[in-house]
Structure 1
Amino acid sequence: MKFNKDEVCILIPTLNESLTIGPVIKDFKSLGFNRILVIDGKSTDNTVKNAREAGAVVRTQSGKGKGNAIIEAFEIIEEPYILMVDGDGTYSAKDAEKMLTPLFLGFDQVIGDRLINAEEGSFSHLNLFGNHMLNLFFKLAHSRDLHDILSGYRAFTKLSIQQMNLKETGFEIETEMSVEAVRNGQRIMVVPIRYSRRPGTPTKLSPFHDGIRIVTTIYRLARVNNPMFYFGIMGLSISVLGLLTGVYVLLEWFRNIQHIPLTILTVLLIVVGIEIFMFGMISDMLLVFHREIIREIQLNQQPRQPK
């Protein structure tokens, strides 16, 4: 499908990508994409110099972290379509048309799935396992399978960006984008893309530290998108803790040993856990009702076709 490439902004967040940023920009330029914005996180190497020499517009972010960079870039981009890609050379510009075409067919966001066609050695066994587990957890928490929620290769319409309320400052930004897209009922397409090994540059992602932060983000954001999951996990955990202490109290009671304070704590834990679980059920019903109301309002606002 042919589309106007001048309506597309190629957004590249960078931090010390001097070895790869030039070739990445030139690859997109060779395909006819001339509107390229590099948002740089105060690189200490020649990233900014190389990006400008390759023909990109470069802006330095005021905050810190990949999330802040993307949020700041979204505020200054005027083109109606945005293709976001990392500057480390792991994504291919040849997949750009595949990523953008669904937007011109009515989709709001496109996610490039790295996990299907990843080059051998591009993921360690630990990273690949972690990605699959995070995607599974996201599917359980938000009731939508997006295949690769951590992908840095994404396409958006400007309108879909405006619907999102993005706040995450670090590597959790891709997770928040996925949650916001689901929460707003956006039309999302997942397309397989090529993913290459990093060309000698070290990764900035810490598997354990950032993995924990991403898990926390998925769970925390479920509070407004899937309250039954959020409060259900919390309530069941507290109730299970109460049941475990109850088993201990019961076993001690059979030995004629009484633990009055622990017995009271057991009852409190079970009761509080059940109440939190019930609160999750009520919140879930209210959310369903709210979504139905919003859907009705949107349907009533649509222009009626003349008979």
Structure 2
Amino acid sequence: MDKIAVLIPCYNEEKTIGKVVADARQALPEAVIYVYDNNSKDKTVELAQKAGAVIRHERKQGKGNVIRRMFREIDALCYIMIDGDDTYPLEYARVMADKVLLENSDMVVGDRLSSTYYQENKRPFHNMGNSLVKSSINMLFHSEIQDIMTGYRAFSYQFVKSFPVLSKGFEIETEMTIHAVYNNMQVDNVIVNYRDRPEGSESKLNTYSDGIRVLNTILKMFRQYKPLAYFTLLAVLLTVLSAAFFIPVFWEFWKTGMVDKFPTLIVCGFVELAAIQSVFAGLILHNLGVKERRDFELQLNDIQERLERKK
């Protein structure tokens, strides 16, 4: 088992990967540095190997797929995950690792948004998207995470081995954050500087398609992790819709004693039945979620025992 493993997912990062590996070796000389290549078509693998990294491969395209492979294959007391584009300085890696190794943090978030991100990033929709996602997650899950979508993080062994990777792409960071918050794991923020990509290095993010995927992930996670709130909100919306169509029918009945719009009345009844079913669905899923939380705590105990044996 490694003490510290630096995990670098890469796809066509020949402009920067050599520097990132060298900086990691300087910041954490005791760490093993893993570069996971995701079908790069340039010299990423050659330059990373020359810089001293251990090279491994993930053939399924997508950052989520790469991280799934990393978390399955690597055993370490502390994991530092960083992008290969040289946008995050490695000088903060020691502080982040110490929070995991010495302060029992499960996840340490490299917070770009509280420092230089908004000045360095030249894509206004990315800035707006980061703020929107941050506000949404913190409001829905009552958390205080300062940067939801940062690619600079540190993890404990317990987090890595208990995290079910479901996302395939860049929405993986959002999924990580919700998993940690929902399961009451210790999450710390470390403010880090951010610098934009150097000239000639191209981002793999698509502002619109990846943004939609992240928002879909938030909605999906809200439904899965907060089913009672989600289905109660749905029930309220259905009730409002039913009432909006029922009031004119009731008003006509009040004045004339006649119901002329039976089809509308019938539809209102079915919509309200759907609202009631939504509430019960939320209650059932909420109770199942409580059971999953209990099972998760037992799973953490098993992971801790496995960690002790590996030590």
2:148 counterpart residue number: 149
Offset, 1:281:
4.2
State the SS of the aligned residue for 2:272: helix
CA RMSD, aligned part only? 2.9
State the SS of the aligned residue for 1:195: coil
Instruction: Give the conservation status (yes or no) of the 8 Å contact 1:117–1:193.
Output: yes
**What aligned pairs does 1:212-291 form with structure 2 within 5 A after superposition?**
212-246=212-246, 258-281=260-283, 283-284=285-286, 287-288=289-290, 291=293
Flag the 1:243–1:171 CA change in 2: closer, same or farther, 3 A. farther
State the SS of the aligned residue for 2:198: coil
Amino acid of the structure 2 residue aligned with 1:9:
A
1:41 counterpart residue number: 38
Flag the 1:288–1:249 CA change in 2: closer, same or farther, 3 A. same
Q: Distance in 1 between matches of 2:32 and 2:299?
A: 37
Percent identity (aligned): 32
Flag the 1:285–1:51 CA change in 2: closer, same or farther, 3 A. same
Flag the 1:99–1:298 CA change in 2: closer, same or farther, 3 A. closer
Offset, 1:110:
0.7
Q: Which runs of 5+ in 2 are unaligned?
A: 305-311
1:118 counterpart residue number: 116
1:305 counterpart residue number: none
Q: Which runs of 5+ in 1 are unaligned?
A: 1-5, 303-307
Flag the 1:60–1:298 CA change in 2: closer, same or farther, 3 A. closer
Instruction: Give the conservation status (yes or no) of the 8 Å contact 2:183–2:293.
Output: no
Q: Normalised by the size of structure 2, how large is the TM-score?
A: 0.84
Flag the 1:15–1:286 CA change in 2: closer, same or farther, 3 A. closer
2:26 counterpart residue number: 30
Offset, 1:257:
9.3
- Aligned residues between the structures: 295
Instruction: Give the conservation status (yes or no) of the 8 Å contact 1:236–1:277.
Output: no
2:139 counterpart residue number: 140
Q: Distance in 2 between matches of 1:212 and 1:12?
A: 25
Flag the 1:293–1:209 CA change in 2: closer, same or farther, 3 A. closer
2:87 counterpart residue number: 90
Q: Normalised by the size of structure 1, how large is the TM-score?
A: 0.85
**What aligned pairs does 1:287-306 form with structure 2 within 5 A after superposition?**
287-288=289-290, 291=293
Offset, 1:274:
3.4
Offset, 1:45:
1.2
2:3 counterpart residue number: 7
Verify: 1:21 aligned to 2:23, yes or no.
no
Q: Distance in 1 between matches of 2:150 and 2:164?
A: 19
Offset, 1:285:
5.5
Bigger mean CA offset, 203-212 vs 149-158: 203-212
Amino acid of the structure 1 residue aligned with 2:186:
R
Q: Distance in 2 between matches of 1:170 and 1:77?
A: 20
Amino acid of the structure 2 residue aligned with 1:27:
D
Verify: 1:127 aligned to 2:126, yes or no.
yes
State the SS of the aligned residue for 1:7: strand
Bigger mean CA offset, 139-148 vs 208-217: 139-148
Amino acid of the structure 1 residue aligned with 2:281:
F
Instruction: Give the conservation status (yes or no) of the 8 Å contact 1:113–1:148.
Output: yes
